[in-house]
Structure 1
């Protein structure tokens, strides 16, 4: 991953040094498991503990073997004597590679989960702070009815909660140890070897596999990442729309010394949201690849291996980077309440059309829906074109034939649109 979008913790997890250290851990745990079965003498385990990763030597050997795991095991064997015969006993390359990779994925998943939880915490705070703040709701980009700004943040909060649930499901699938041998039938192993390694690494067990862990597990995880990316892009798109000059209701924070344009000093662009939108597309680009990786010749080849070496480090770097940047953007979000109220006032009560329609239908059983709908629609057309208050236009067009004056006046209360907000919040946040 380029340094611009790299995350220190993720880079450390997926570094060659750490990856090969986990390979070594797997190898050692397998030998230790054999020892519990009285195959490997305990004194030989002490010798194996002296082994270290010598990456330059491994790369040198790989030039000849053209096989990284063989180069790895030979690099290890060179460091000790006859005890080296226990290294890689009964296992195949992907027992090491897949188990280690699933462990690295687990380590990275923990960071993703933490960042999702941090984002959810920020969204909950914004929701509760803005519970009673009115904002014009839009459908199809057009004015609909006012709603609570807090509900907008609550919507995103609830979606992030679902993403956390999906991640937890995917984690159970992918965070497994696979020590089943060349054909996945444990022919040269015992099932207890796999159980021992899984327990040591705090992983689940791949109950049945071929020579590789089946890639439907990986595809599920990456599809969840694609789904998370879609949520991030959804939020970023909404911020970008609200930051437009003609809307100006929400905007990214703009720090001292920040520049919005190289040529126009007045510009304050939604660069963080645009950045997240672009990276979200990058994340989703791996989804199709991950599904294609599940289709291997006789359910075992290494056509998946090459792209996974790139895919997982890049995915985790960009996803964690995007989650952190989104959280920071929301924490520094500028909320223009005056502009929100201005747009509501400029609408001149046109958004009460459904309120009037619904009330009359419920209270006046002598009028058909079609008749009153057409009347109110015609009035909204006049009100919008002439920039006149809908309430006045309705009165001029004999709305009092269907409702008395006192009831009619009572309908025009903006608080009506947020009367259930507290109940909705109780559903989501379980507040009292």
Structure 2
């Protein structure tokens, strides 16, 4: 009965993952070239594109879909073997009887009983933990990008949803909060399911019963997180202008790596790094654009003019292979013919 319920639950999860994949693919394609700041340790780092951020999450969703297809043959296996798993009570034709039952239930016939060998159940739990972990990552980024001071994306708007009872101006990331909470509890249930593997002998005295509590709850919470995530990615509001404004917030400091690499052929990498580092500190102290200080430095202008420095200081010119990587993710989905219309 547990395996039959798992089969139905996995079918629902597959449908949700397919829908999320389709929405993420649209966002990745639409914002393939939309520049935004990449962040490291919650600090502005180097430019990326929003499509790149979405394609990264999409690649994880696709791996989950592949994992689901791979685990089904192992997990959707029936169990009918008697008290200790030997089929002793059936006598002659026991395996044929077992095979007939499995055929009727459309489940695989096990080679041997698995009463207290629960790796397949634990595998389902780990799969749910991986799925909700990715959804939790999505939720974390959306929450941070929805902060008033950032304002780069917003969850879909619905009248009254996410508002405060005392602060009318607020638009809280309510779906992301739910996803984060669900993911956190699923992780605990995964640990419980791994503990349930420690069954004693041929019929356990308690570990098995852990599954009765942990597995249904893990499925329910995963379904809730998937439902919220579907809504978020299908209706996510993206503010490309705010993304650009945040790129310009530091007056060119986010392009310091690009400047350093651009000067390295003339000054040597170490010298270029130290020089740009000092100029960044001075730009912060004087609250001036980095470009101005670069243009005033004789050691730099001896090799590079202001026009070239302006190009180096433009974050949109330092996106690396963001767009190429977006295309690679989308192409792999298309080639595998698993990207929904």
Q: Call closer, same or farther: CA 1:258–1:219 in 2, change over 3 Å.
A: closer
Matching of residues 38-187 of structure 1 within 5 Å: 100-187=1-88
Return the match for 1:314 from 217, 223, 243. 217
For residues 224-282 of structure 1, what are the alpha-carbon distances to aligned partners after superposition, in whole Å with 9 as ceiling and x for unaligned?
11111111111111111111111111122231243611122222111111111111111
Displacement of 1:403: 3.6
Identify if the C-alpha distance between structure 1 residues 415 and 247 changes in structure 2 by more than 3 Å, giving closer, same or farther.
closer
Partner deviation per Cα, 1:77-134 (whole Å, 9 max, x = no partner): xxxxxxxxxxxxxxxxxxxxxxx21111111111111111111111111111111211
- Paired with 1:406 and 1:269, the residues of 2 have a C-alpha distance of 43
Task: Summarize the alignment of residues 18-417 of structure 1 with structure 2, pairs less than 5 Å apart.
Answer: 100-189=1-90, 190-210=94-114, 212=115, 214-258=117-161, 260-361=163-264, 363-364=265-266, 367-398=267-298, 399-403=300-304, 407-417=308-318
Shift in Å, 1:193: 1.9
- Alpha-carbon distance change, 405 to 244 in structure 1, aligned in 2, over 3 angstroms: closer
Q: 1:256 to 1:217 in 2, by over 3 A?
A: same
> Which sits farther off after the overlay, 250-259 or 333-342?
250-259
TM superposition shift of 1:405: 5.2
What is aligned with 2:324? 423
- Show the counterpart of 1:50: none
Give the distance between the partners of 2:215 and 2:68, measured in 1 at CA.
Answer: 15
State the match for 2:339 in structure 1: none
Kept in 2: contact 1:147–1:418 (CA 8 A): yes
CA contact (8 A) 2:252 2:289 kept: yes
Relative to structure 1, the CA distance from residue 281 to residue 403 in structure 2 (aligned partners, 3 Å threshold; closer, same or farther) is same
SS at match of 2:201: helix
Alpha-carbon shift at residue 402 of structure 1 (Å): 4.3
1:215, CA displacement in angstroms?
A: 0.9
Q: Which has the higher contact order (CA 8 A, sep 6+)?
A: 2
1:44 aligns with: none
In the TM superposition, what is the alpha-carbon distance from 1:415 to its structure 2 partner?
3.5
**Deviation at 1:219?**
0.9
Contact 2:279-2:294 at 8 Å conserved across structures: yes
Q: 1:420 to 1:369 in 2, by over 3 A?
A: closer
Q: 1:259 to 1:315 in 2, by over 3 A?
A: closer
Structure 1 unpaired stretches of 5+: 1-99
8 Å Cα contact 1:236/1:277 also seen in 2: yes
- Tell me if the contact between 2:189 and 2:215 (Cα under 8 Å) persists in the aligned partners: no
The Cα of 1:302 is off from its aligned counterpart by 4.6
* Post-superposition offset of 1:158: 0.4
- Contact 1:179 1:193 (8 Å CA) reproduced: no
In structure 1, what is the Cα distance between the partners aligned to 2:18 and 2:113? 33
With the length of structure 1 as denominator, give the TM-score of the two structures: 0.72
Inter-CA distance 397–387: structure 2 relative to 1 (3 Å threshold)? same
Give 1:71's aligned residue.
none
Instruction: Work out the CA distance in 2 between the residues paired with 1:316 and 1:250.
Output: 29
SS in 2 for 1:170: helix
Which protein has the larger Cα radius of gyration, Structure 1 or Structure 2? 1
> Segments of 4+ in structure 1 off by > 4 A?
404-407
C-alpha contact 1:206 1:213 (8 A) present in aligned 2? no
Residue 404 of structure 1 deviates from its aligned partner by: 5.0
Q: Which moved more, 1:167-176 or 1:119-128?
A: 167-176
Q: Aligned pairs, how many?
A: 329
- For each residue in 1:132-188, what CA deviation from the matched residue of structure 2 results, as whole angstroms up to 9, or x when unmatched? 211111111111122111111111100111122223333222210122222222323
